[in-house]
Amino acid sequence: MVLKKLTEASGIPGQEKEVRDILKAEIDGLVDRYWVDPLGNLLAVRGDRGPRVMLAAHMDEVGLIVTHIDQKGGLRFSKVGGIEDQVLVSKRVLVGKDRLPGVIGAKPVHLQNHGEREHPIRSDDMYVDIGAKSKEEAERLAPPGTAMVFDTCYEVLDERIVKAKALDDRAGCAALLEVLKEEYDLTLCVAFTVQEELGLRGAGVAAYALMPDMAVVLEGTTCADTPGAEENEWSSQLGKGAVLSYMDRASVSNRRMVEEMTRLGREQGIHYQFKRTTAGGNDAGRIHLAREGVATASVSIPCRYIHSPVSVMSLDDSDSVVSLVKAFLKSVEGGFLPND
In the predicted structure, residue 340 carries a pLDDT above the cut 90: no
224 or 340, greater pLDDT: 224
pLDDT at 218 (0 to 100) = 98
Domains and CATH numbers, the chain: 2-61+165-333 (3.40.630.10), 63-150 (2.40.30.40)
Segment 25-44 shows an average pLDDT of 97
pLDDT at 273 (0 to 100) = 96
* Span of 14-18, 122-126, 224-228, 324-328 with lowest mean pLDDT: 224-228
Secondary structure, 3-state, 234-288? CCCCCCCCEEECCECCCCECCHHHHHHHHHHHHHHCCCEEECCCCCCCCCHHHHC
> Is residue 196 annotated as a catalytic residue, yes or no?
yes
pLDDT tier, 112 (very low <50, low <70, confident <90, very high otherwise): low
In the predicted structure, residue 228 carries a pLDDT above the cut 80: no
Mean pLDDT over each residue of the chain, to the nearest integer: 93
What's the Cα-to-Cα distance from 51 to each of 83, 148, 338, rounded to whole Å?
Answer: 39, 41, 11
121 or 104, greater pLDDT: 104
pLDDT at 115 (0 to 100) = 64
SS3 125: helix
Helix axes 315-333, 255-268, angle to 10 degrees: 110
In the predicted structure, residue 107 carries a pLDDT above the cut 80: no
Q: Could you tell me which residues come within 8 angstroms of residue 59 by beta carbon, excluding any fewer than 6 positions away?
A: 11, 16, 19, 20, 23, 42, 169, 170, 173, 192, 193, 194
pLDDT at 271 (0 to 100) = 98
Single out the residue of 266, 254, 265, 241 nearest to residue 326, CA to CA.
265
Segment 81-85 shows an average pLDDT of 94
Among 196, 197, 219, 260, which one carries the catalytic annotation?
196
pLDDT at 235 (0 to 100) = 83
Segment 207-218 shows an average pLDDT of 97
Segment 56-68 shows an average pLDDT of 97
229 or 196, greater pLDDT: 196
In the predicted structure, residue 129 carries a pLDDT above the cut 80: yes
pLDDT at 110 (0 to 100) = 59
- Our measurement of the distance from residue 143's CA atom to the centroid of its chain's CA atoms, rounded to an integer in Å, reads 27
In the predicted structure, residue 213 carries a pLDDT above the cut 80: yes
pLDDT at 160 (0 to 100) = 94
pLDDT digits (tens, 9 = 90+) for 231-250: 766 788 999 999 999 998 98
SS3 88: coil
pLDDT at 310 (0 to 100) = 96
- Measure the CA dihedral 255/257/259/264, to 10°: -170
Compute the distance between CA of residue 299 and CA of residue 275 in angstroms, rounded to an integer: 10
HSE-CB of 128 using CA atoms within 13 angstroms:
35
In the predicted structure, residue 111 carries a pLDDT above the cut 60: no
pLDDT at 339 (0 to 100) = 85
Segment 37-42 shows an average pLDDT of 98
